[in-house]
Amino acid sequence: TLDDNARALILAMEMPGGREYAACYTSFLYQSQQKDESWSNFMLDGKYSSLFNSDDSVGRALLACSLGSSSPWPEISQKCQEMLLKNLSRAFSFQSPRAIAYALIGLCKCQWSGLGTRQQDSIKKLGEFLINIYQVQHSRKWLWFEDYLTYCNGILPQAMFALYQLNADKKALKIGYDSLNFLNSILFRQGYLNIIGNDGWYFHNQKIALFDQQPVDAASTAFACIEAYESIGEIEFLELAILAHKWYRGHNIHGLSLYNAETGGCYDALTPEGVNLNQGAEAVLSLLLSDKLMENFIGKKVDIDQSS
């Protein structure tokens, strides 16, 4: 899928010897473009299909292309630059706040100058959109962008911190700080990361669904906390990022590791009965991205393979 290859491209660009893999994932993104300036999210029977297209998948692709646009490998950077120029306008029609957050983070971290004034103009427009929906939706006891918490929640405060790091936007900083603290107060209240389950999610003034817990949310939480720590230096965010990462290896509601040492993969979910034994691309990539985040940021200061 477009989703999987966008995530894989981001990972491959961080890996020693990842050039060949990154070129492969870039080619998938490039070939999945349609004439109407859209991406196809799925390849079915060897053909790209527009079925099940989503704003989120395009947002992740824009994030990957933003990062890839300054790659030292020309077969990566040139295609990513072309895709970014062609598809950036899609972000302004997104209905999903998460899709907007992915695109915004990418633009804030984009080091390629070829977008010119489009980069800052787009950052301003997308940033204002997220700030506005927060201001409309949040209340004194519900410091969030929506009336519910679902999947990859961390991407929203992460986008606010990324905007602050780029432009020193104090409004974005306050929203990022308040919303991430609100999210963390829910996710870590048991002393470990307790991801909101996809069988009901968490709607305001209702019960929190405990299952199924998806691996992608552990990575999303870790990335948000690292972005916050880089922005303001509060050690609690670093500690929570480490705790979120440990979810994969047993620091969770069941005390079970989702990492499969034999395959190097990651199980798909925590269920009421234990683990979902499937090992899909989304789960595996989320684990590897979280591993790489910890390796890059913390190095050997903490043993990330232990659950306690």
Structure tokens at 172: 């974005």
Cα distance between residue 84 and residue 29, in whole Å: 11
Listed by start position, the domains of the chain span 1-106, 183-308
Higher pLDDT, 303 or 13: 13
The answer for residues whose C-beta is within 8 angstroms of residue 34's C-beta and 6 or more apart is 40, 48, 50
Q: State the pLDDT at residue 105.
A: 99
Q: What is the mean pLDDT of residues 216-231?
A: 98
Q: What is the largest CA-CA distance in the chain?
A: 52
Mean pLDDT of 107-128: 97
Q: Distance (Å, rounded) from C-alpha 292 to C-alpha 63?
A: 17
**64-114 pLDDT, tens per residue?**
999 999 999 999 999 999 999 999 999 999 999 999 999 999 999 999 999
- Confirm if 166 and 110 have CB atoms less than 8 A apart: no
The pLDDT confidence band at residue 300, using thresholds 50, 70 and 90, is very low
Sequence-distant (6+) residues with CB within 8 A of 181 are 143
Q: Is the pLDDT of residue 283 over 90?
A: yes
pLDDT at 34: 76
Q: Contacts from 203-212 at CB under 8 Å and sequence distance 24+?
A: 203/147, 203/148, 204/142, 204/147, 204/148, 210/253, 210/272, 211/269, 211/270, 211/271, 211/272, 212/269, 212/270, 212/271, 212/276
d(CA 275, CA 213): 9
Q: Which residue has the tokens 């890996």?
A: 15
Share the mean pLDDT of the chain: 93
pLDDT at residue number 52: 56
The rounded distance, in Å, linking the Cα atoms of 53 and 38 is 9
Q: What is the pLDDT of residue 42?
A: 61
